[in-house]
Amino acid sequence: MSIQQKLSLLRSMAAVDSFQLLYWQVARTCNVYADALAVLGAWYVTKKSIRFVCDLYSMVRLHFIPRLVGRRYLLKHYGKWAMVTGAADGIGKAYAEELARQGVDLILVGLDQNKLEALATAITERFNVETYVLEADFTKGRGIYPPIQEALKNKEIGILVNSVDVPTDYPEFFLNVSEDKLWDLINVNIAATNMMIHIVLPGMVQRKKGAIVNISSGYCCKPTPQMAAYSSTKMYLDYFSRALHREYAPKGIFVQSLLPFSITTKGDGHSEGLHFFSWLAPSPNLYVRHAVSTLGISNRTPGYWMHSVQFLFAQYIPEWLWIWGTTQ
């Protein structure tokens, strides 16, 4: 072998040694970063897993334990009278019947005077409680509230259920929503809740006890296309309720944000808003029996155990998957 060939071989061996040395140095550095990323990933998965297990435990504690230990006595905890807005139909009517079942006297507020009077008569005969009917069209804006305030002057209201709303019958693009419907959404879904609380809350604060239930929607947990205006009003109610609870819980007032998903209405076999399998959509009475058992326990809840499962998974799925699912 010539000298030139020997030198070439030595250079090649040196190059190989240098490459291997570089490779091992890079690999060792990468291993350090890989170990750090593995620790970070394990911490993240553990955190999410613990949170998921805690959420499941909270759901069981909220929806099953209170029903096992028996019905709570709302009359003792909050007072003699309850006011329910939107009481003529749906969740509002179911709340009125369930509160009357527990011996609470009722003020029923709604648009249809005939329906309200028929409900008041039926409740009085069935549960032997006092009832009082107030006709109010919340779409009319600010002018309707002074007469309501005057009518409630001598009533010690312990529970206020803000159930009145302008529902959305089916998903539709924002520009297909009429201007009148948009104003109704603002006046009814937002303003009515604020004003009714503003009327009733001073008495609760004075007595240092009371409960307010604001019915939002499970669809407020993520942006929902083709329900933009409706779901946004419900998001407002959720944030408003949570903030109000923080303000007034030290004064003895419990404010609950209720987040139902689909409810079967009028036995028509389909749900309010988006269409789901019927077993996911309880009747208003079944839903309210579960929801009332959470009052005073959770200030933010879907109210019904299956809706809590839906809400739990809705919080963990990516936003794009939520949007895809709600627009199909």
Tens digits of residue pLDDT in 234-271: 999 999 999 999 999 999 999 999 999 888 875 444 44
User: How many angstroms from the chain centroid is the CA of residue 207?
Assistant: 28
Residue 132 annotated to the active site: no
Cα torsion for 162, 165, 170, 175, to the nearest 10°? -130
Query: How high is the pLDDT of residue 16?
Result: 45
Q: Which residues pair with 133 in a beta bridge?
A: 108
Kindly state the average pLDDT of the residues 153-165. 93
Give the pLDDT band of residue 24 (cuts 50, 70, 90).
low
Give the pLDDT band of residue 132 (cuts 50, 70, 90).
very high
Give the pLDDT band of residue 67 (cuts 50, 70, 90).
low
Of 95, 230, 248, 287, the catalytic one is: 230
Give the pLDDT band of residue 59 (cuts 50, 70, 90).
low
Q: What is the pTM of this model?
A: 0.78
Parallel, antiparallel or unpaired: strands 210-215 and 157-162: parallel
Mean pLDDT: which of 13-22, 170-179, 263-272 is highest? Answer: 170-179
Taken in order 57, 61, 67, 70, is the CA torsion positive or negative?
positive
* Closest to 235 (Cα-Cα) out of 178, 199, 185, 277: 185
Please give the Cα distance from 278 to 37 (Å, whole number).
45
Cβ distance 230 to 220 under 8 Å? no
Q: What value does the mean pLDDT of the chain take? A: 81
Query: How high is the pLDDT of residue 65?
Result: 56
Please give the Cα distance from 257 to 269 (Å, whole number).
26
Query: How high is the pLDDT of residue 313?
Result: 80
Residue located via tokens 């539709």: 172
